[in-house]
């Protein structure tokens, strides 16, 4: 009895030890402690072995101790593209890598040749090309490259110009491949069965029916095999579509005209209001801001305002005199002081010539812009002053003189009539008379002759 109890105790202790060992083996403490040592190893062969076995080891993980939430690195070219970490790792999956990238260059033809040289270095193949000439040169190239060279080839293609657009995708087609293989196996088995039945058939009708079915199933089998070959071809070679366009030069210039009351701060309050209303006789500052709104340097800047009869030399720059060349995004501010005696509707026009990197004018790249603004001077109102009365009297006298001159001008063409009338009247007063006497009358009779 005692021996049985002792045996039971020993079995209980053994079972407890085994359970403890199993729980410690399932605990992830040992694996957690080992992982940093593997990540910090300098053995390149060990890292390669880990990558081949399906463990995604990234450079950022080595530097941060395995932090997988690190964001992708920026393109060292500064073009806005991102460095693609798309080197495939053998995970037993079928992945289709595709990318499209658009770059702008100064010379499309030379950039096309450079892209071909880059892909030859990676052993890539050119599967398509579409080229368009002037006025907007453009080339679209379709390359196929091994998946392990996909990332480096994409970065190299982005270095030939300024990246404007980039799209990268990785499509897992494992399920589709498995489905196609399964359907192919089923279709192949069905074809073999029909062939066996056809070999053993003796009836002509059965033979015709079996041949028809065999033809349909063989056609279906070949179609499935073609789909599988297409998918496997996409998996075996990554596709990169490169679009090369010529960098378009877009020179542009703008001008804004504003004003504000006062003329004592040397234009420091610029800009003002585009539509300003002030009292008549108010000192006013008019502001002119010229801005390069394009992507090309501008020179030979001209300004003209026919209302105020102003040129650029008539204006005073705010702060300091700007350079002769106005770079993209830069602006120059000028001001002009006047007394607002009347309402002005300004129409200011500026023009400039675009130049290249060497300072040479670009043919046919002149730019111009026009801006309008209103400076309205109004009567301040109130009781008239002595000056106002004197000015009103003078204006009335000038108006009366103008009316008199007008009247004289209207009468002058008819002055010749006056001497004619005077002459006729005088002749009538000097006509002689003849006296006639009637025998029966005692008084003589005067008869006009």
Tens-place pLDDT, residues 198-253? 888 888 888 888 889 989 999 999 999 999 998 888 888 999 999 999 887 788 99
DSSP string, 412-443: GGGTTHHHHHHHHHHHHHT--EEEE--TT-SS
Burial 125-151 (b: 16+ CB within 10 A, else e): eeeeeeeeeeeebebbbebbbbbebbb
User: How many CB atoms sit inside 10 A of residue 338's CB?
Assistant: 16
Contact, 304 vs 284, CB < 8 A?
no
Tens-place pLDDT, residues 300-344? 999 999 999 999 999 999 977 667 889 988 999 999 999 988 888
Contact, 449 vs 434, CB < 8 A?
yes
Mode of pairing for the β-strands spanning 275-279 and 297-305: unpaired
- Can the peptide bond before residue 135 be classed as cis, meaning omega within 30 degrees of 0? yes
Mode of pairing for the β-strands spanning 162-172 and 138-145: unpaired
User: Is residue 445 within a helix (H) or strand (E), and if so which, with residue range?
Assistant: strand 445-448
Contact, 225 vs 184, CB < 8 A?
yes
Tens-place pLDDT, residues 118-135? 999 999 889 899 988 877
Residues lower than pLDDT 70 in the chain:
1-91, 321-322, 381-385, 388, 430-449
* pTM for this model (two decimals): 0.44
Quote the pLDDT of residue 145: 92
Tokens in use for 286? 């008019």
- Which phi and psi angles does 182 have, rounded to 5°? -65, -45
Quote the pLDDT of residue 234: 85
Contact, 343 vs 374, CB < 8 A?
yes
Strand partners, 132: 138
Please state, in angstroms and rounded to a whole number, the distance separating the CA atoms of residues 415 and 182. 123
Contact, 246 vs 160, CB < 8 A?
no
| Burial classification of residue 230, based on how many CB atoms lie within 10 Å of its CB (0-12 exposed, 13-18 middle, 19 or more buried) | exposed
Burial 288-305 (b: 16+ CB within 10 A, else e): bbbbbebebbbeebebeb
């Amino acid at each position: 009895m005692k021996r049985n109890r002792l045996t039971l105790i020993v079995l209980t202790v053994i079972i407890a030890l085994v359970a403890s060992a199993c729980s410690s083996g399932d605990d992830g403490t040992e694996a957690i402690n080992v992982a940093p040592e593997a990540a910090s190893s300098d053995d390149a062969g060990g890292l390669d072995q880990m990558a081949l076995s399906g463990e995604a080891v990234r450079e950022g993980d080595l530097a941060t101790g395995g932090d997988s939430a690190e964001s992708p690195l920026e393109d060292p070219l500064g073009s806005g593209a991102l460095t693609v970490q798309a080197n495939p790792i053998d995970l037993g999956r079928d992945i289709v890598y595709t990318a499209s990238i658009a770059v702008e260059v100064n010379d499309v033809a030379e950039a096309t040749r450079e892209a071909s040289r880059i892909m030859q270095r990676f052993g890539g193949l050119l599967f398509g090309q579409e080229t368009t000439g002037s006025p907007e040169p453009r080339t679209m190239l379709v390359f196929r490259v091994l998946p392990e060279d996909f990332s480096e080839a994409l970065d190299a293609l982005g270095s030939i110009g300024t990246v404007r657009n980039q799209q990268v995708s990785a499509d897992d087609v494992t399920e589709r491949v498995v489905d196609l293989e399964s359907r192919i196996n089923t279709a192949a088995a069905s074809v073999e069965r029909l062939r066996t039945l056809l070999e053993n058939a003796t009836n002509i009708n059965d033979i015709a029916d079996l041949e028809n079915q065999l033809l349909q199933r063989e056609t279906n089998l070949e179609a499935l095999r073609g789909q599988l070959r297409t998918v496997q071809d996409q998996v075996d070679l990554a596709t990169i579509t490169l679009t090369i366009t010529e960098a378009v030069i877009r020179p542009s210039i703008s001008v804004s005209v504003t004003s504000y009351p006062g003329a004592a701060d040397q234009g420091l309050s610029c800009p003002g209001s585009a539509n300003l209303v002030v009292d008549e006789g108010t000192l006013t500052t008019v502001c002119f801001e010229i801005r390069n709104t394009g992507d090309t340097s501008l020179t030979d800047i001209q300004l003209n305002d026919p209302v105020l009869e102003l040129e650029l030399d008539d204006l005073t720059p705010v702060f300091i005199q700007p350079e002769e060349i106005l770079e993209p995004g830069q602006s120059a501010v000028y001001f002009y002081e006047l007394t607002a005696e009347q309402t002005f509707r300004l129409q200011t026009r500026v023009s400039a010539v675009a130049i290249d990197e060497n300072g040479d004018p670009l043919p046919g790249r002149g730019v111009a812009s026009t801006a309008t603004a209103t400076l309205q001077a109004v009567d301040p109102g109130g009781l008239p002053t002595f000056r106002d009365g004197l000015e009103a009297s003078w204006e009335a006298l000038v108006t009366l003189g103008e009316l008199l001159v007008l009247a004289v001008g209207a009468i002058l063409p008819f002055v010749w009539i006056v001497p004619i009338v005077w002459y006729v009247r005088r002749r009538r007063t000097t006509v002689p008379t003849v006296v006639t006497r009637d025998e029966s009358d005692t008084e003589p009779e005067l008869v006009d002759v």
